[in-house]
């Protein structure tokens, strides 16, 4: 048993914290909102999940120092736009030889960095290992103990193997990979493609269109990943096509939901204002657009999503433009 700090009590962070506790570890969960912490301490319930009841062994705090002190493993589980600020505050409390596990999917705006790169920049001078844990994994299903698979990726193979052993359980199987860049790009870009899939659902298109979005979407993800130095085969794995499939097809997918509502004619600001949880694909669409422009990578679906979200492009017109581009080989 080791002490594990989960920084963030959103849906995925809470599901992971619950799983790690059931794996026999000492879990303390950090949340900046004192009212939410008090409610979870008293009720042992998560505000979003009726299926999730926290064990009395799980602790909650708003104090970063007490959350991190003595922990051998930290799980970063806040939205992508909060990762740098959180780690910069937490770094003074992080001890040597700690493993930092990033479970946040997304790319930082402006810098266009993956989350592991952001964490690496903010922990310079610290002797830590950084692992990203991604894969097709809706929190709603993990808390219900539905069999799930993930990938722990790191440039340090020993660290990813430790994470594999700590997180694996009867219902969660963890694989390892050394291509952390490919893992994170796949897990982030798929949220943009999921918005496209949702738009098609909202318009009322069918299975043919969904299949095209998934297949051509994985081609876009792979092209950008390879251009940035990732391995092509990573995108054929769990964090690529696996995560893409589940995010584009599931009722649990926030990003697919955003797209579906846009396809029905609603505006993005209205949709986001009503959501309790973050749809990372909205911000990631801007970063992906900037990356494909910078590296001259053809990503027509991702660019179409960007223009719908940020330039108020009509979704049906975007579909027409995608279908009527110059013909080419697959």
Q: What is the pLDDT of residue 50?
A: 77
Predicted confidence (pLDDT) per residue in 222-231, tens digit: 999 999 999 9
CA 325/CA 21 separation, integer angstroms:
52
Identify the CA nearest to 247 among candidates 290, 205, 292, 214: 214
Tell me phi and psi for residue 131, to 5 degrees.
Answer: -130, 140
> Beta strands of 73-117 (E only): which ranges?
73-76, 99-102
Q: Provide the percentage of residues in the chain whose pLDDT is more than 70.
A: 100
Residue 224 · residue 292 · CB < 8 Å = yes
CA 295/CA 298 separation, integer angstroms:
9
CA 101/CA 79 separation, integer angstroms:
14
Predicted confidence (pLDDT) per residue in 150-208, tens digit: 999 999 999 999 999 999 999 999 999 999 999 999 999 999 999 999 999 999 999 99
Specify the residue for token string 């999730």.
52
Residues 6+ apart with CB under 8 A from 218: 193, 235, 236, 240, 241, 244
Identify the CA nearest to 71 among candidates 3, 130, 1, 166: 3
Q: Provide the percentage of residues in the chain whose pLDDT is more than 90.
A: 96
Q: What is the pLDDT of residue 60?
A: 97
CA 251/CA 260 separation, integer angstroms:
11
Q: What is the pLDDT of residue 99?
A: 98
Residue 119 · residue 83 · CB < 8 Å = yes
Mean pLDDT, to the nearest integer, of 227-252?
Answer: 96
In eight-state DSSP terms, residue 33 is -
Question: Tokens standing for 60?
Answer: 């909650």
Is the pLDDT at 276 greater than 90? The verdict is no
Question: Tokens standing for 199?
Answer: 């738009």
Mean pLDDT, to the nearest integer, of 284-303?
Answer: 98
Is the pLDDT at 20 greater than 90? The verdict is yes
**Domains parsed from the chain with CATH numbers:** 3-178 (3.40.50.720), 187-323 (1.10.1040.10)
Average model confidence (pLDDT) across the chain:
96
Q: How far is CA 19 from CA 54, 170, 172, 234, 281, in A?
A: 10, 11, 9, 26, 26
> Beta strands of the chain (E only): which ranges?
3-7, 26-30, 59-61, 73-76, 99-102, 129-134, 148-153, 172-177
CA 309/CA 304 separation, integer angstroms:
9
Q: List the 148-153 sheet strands across, edge first.
A: 59-61, 26-30, 3-7, 73-76, 99-102, 129-134, 148-153, 172-177
CA 307/CA 146 separation, integer angstroms:
37
Q: For residue 102, what are the β-bridge partners?
A: 76, 132
Predicted confidence (pLDDT) per residue in 91-112, tens digit: 999 999 999 999 999 999 999 9
Is the pLDDT at 289 greater than 90? The verdict is yes
Please identify every residue annotated as catalytic. Answer: 190
Mean pLDDT, to the nearest integer, of 72-89?
Answer: 97
Mean pLDDT, to the nearest integer, of 235-244?
Answer: 97
């Amino acid at each position: 048993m080791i002490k594990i700090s989960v920084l963030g009590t959103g849906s995925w962070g809470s599901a992971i914290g619950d799983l790690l506790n059931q794996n026999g570890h000492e879990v303390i969960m950090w949340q900046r909102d004192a009212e939410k912490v008090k409610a979870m301490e008293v009720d042992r319930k998560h505000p979003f999940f009726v299926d999730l009841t926290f064990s009395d062994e799980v602790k909650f705090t708003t104090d970063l120092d007490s959350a991190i002190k003595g922990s051998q493993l930290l799980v970063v589980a806040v939205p992508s736009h909060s990762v740098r600020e959180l780690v910069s505050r937490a770094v003074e409390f992080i001890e040597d030889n700690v493993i930092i596990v990033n479970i946040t999917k997304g790319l930082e705006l402006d810098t266009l960095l993956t989350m592991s790169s952001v964490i690496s920049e903010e922990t310079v001078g610290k002797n830590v290992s950084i692992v990203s844990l991604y894969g097709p994994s809706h929190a709603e299903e993990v808390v219900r103990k539905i069999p799930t698979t993930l990938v722990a990726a790191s440039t340090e193979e020993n660290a990813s193997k430790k994470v594999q052993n700590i997180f694996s359980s009867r219902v969660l199987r963890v694989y390892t990979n050394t291509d952390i860049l490919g893992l994170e790009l796949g897990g982030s870009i798929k949220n943009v493609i999921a918005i496209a899939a949702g738009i098609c659902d909202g318009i009322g298109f069918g299975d043919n269109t969904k299949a095209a979005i998934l297949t051509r979407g994985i081609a876009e993800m792979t092209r950008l990943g390879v251009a940035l130095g990732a391995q092509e085969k990573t995108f054929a794995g769990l964090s690529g096509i696996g995560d893409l499939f589940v995010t584009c097809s599931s009722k649990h997918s926030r990003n697919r939901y955003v797209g579906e509502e846009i396809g029905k004619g609603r505006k993005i600001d209205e949709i986001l204002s009503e959501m309790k949880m973050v749809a990372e694909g909205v911000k990631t669409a801007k970063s992906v657009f900037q990356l494909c422009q910078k590296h001259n990578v053809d990503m027509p679906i991702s660019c179409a999503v960007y223009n719908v979200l940020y330039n108020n492009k009509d979704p049906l017109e975007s579909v027409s433009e995608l279908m009527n581009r110059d013909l080419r080989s697959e």
